[in-house]
Amino acid sequence: MSSVLGRVFIVMLAAAGCIAVAPRLALAQVKPAVTTLGPDFPKSEIFIGNSFFYYNNGMPGQVSQLEKAADPDHKQDYRATMVTIGGSGFDWHDVESYFRPNAIGSYSFDENNNVVFNKLDKLFDVAVMMDCSQCPIHPRLKTVFTEFARKNSEIVRAHGARPVFFMSWAYADKPEMTAQLAEAYTTAGNENNALVIPAGLAFARAVGKQPELNLYAPDKRHPSLAGTYLAACTVFAALTGRSPVGNAYLAGIDAPTAQFLQTVAWETVQDYYQK
């Protein structure tokens, strides 16, 4: 079990007054079976999810900026596309339709806002999928999460891409969601041979280290700009296997804060994948 998850459980148990049972619960936490997408790391991604992805002008765009800044000689090769429905879960998305030819991803825009028509052998290398923020752990929806994690993974693979699950974060006022979501997503990842991106664990680590830094919008659910950037750095680290620490793309965040978030993302990914 990673040190991040261990601290999450300890905080939860201490708050509940039952720290004595921490070792038993900690051992129940599953570990990810898939820990890298290498050596054939992806360069094109479709992000399938909800408003957690599209806040702050879109997290996928920030992932792409991080990738291009890390590999400027091949920046034209990186491409991120976002398909989102507000409030959506896995079962709201017609994933099959997202891979139809000459549609999503068939053209994009370069840094000078020129239209680029993409001639693609396949649309995307990976599909990064996120369920609704409560669905994986909701009593009436978690079976739907399990069912569509499998169905959508099969669809993605049938189109030559690899499925990836995005572990979302706890609400600001419900920190107990962190460990619950981590368990649900890691289990689904293992059942579907899919990489899981531990964004929720990165949020918990950042809050534990620097609680005065606000990662949330006023609704305590959606991300602030810092939260979106932290998530993007975590995605970058998980998908590419590279550290985001020192990356030149800062998303308009001051340099010390950006470096802190980059470091948290890298530490979290290393811990979760037990590198």
DSSP helix/strand/coil, 130? coil
The pLDDT score that the predictor gives to residue 122 is 80
Q: 231 and 261 in contact (C-beta within 8 Å)?
A: no
CA distance linking residue 68 with residue 43, whole number of Å: 10
Q: What is the CA radius of gyration of the chain?
A: 18
State the DSSP string of 32-100: -S-----SS--SEEEEEE-HHHHGGG-HHHHHHHHHHHH-GGGGGG-EEEEEE-TT--GGG--GGGGG-
Q: What is the DSSP letter of 242?
A: -
Spatial contact of 136 and 129, defined as CB atoms under 8 Å apart: no
Per-residue pLDDT tens listing for the chain (275 residues): 444 444 444 444 443 333 333 333 333 479 999 999 999 999 999 999 999 999 999 999 999 999 999 999 999 899 999 999 999 999 999 999 999 988 898 888 888 899 988 877 788 999 999 999 999 999 999 999 999 999 999 999 999 999 999 999 999 999 999 999 999 999 999 999 999 999 999 999 999 999 999 999 999 999 999 999 999 999 999 999 999 999 999 999 999 999 999 999 999 999 999 98
On whether the CB atoms of residues 43 and 36 are closer than 8 A, the answer is: no
| Contact criterion met (CB below 8 Å) for 55 and 217 | yes
Q: Are 86 and 128 in contact (CB under 8 A)?
A: no
pTM of the model: 0.89
Of 76, 77, 94, residue with least CA distance to 85:
94
Query: What is the pLDDT at residue 228?
Result: 98
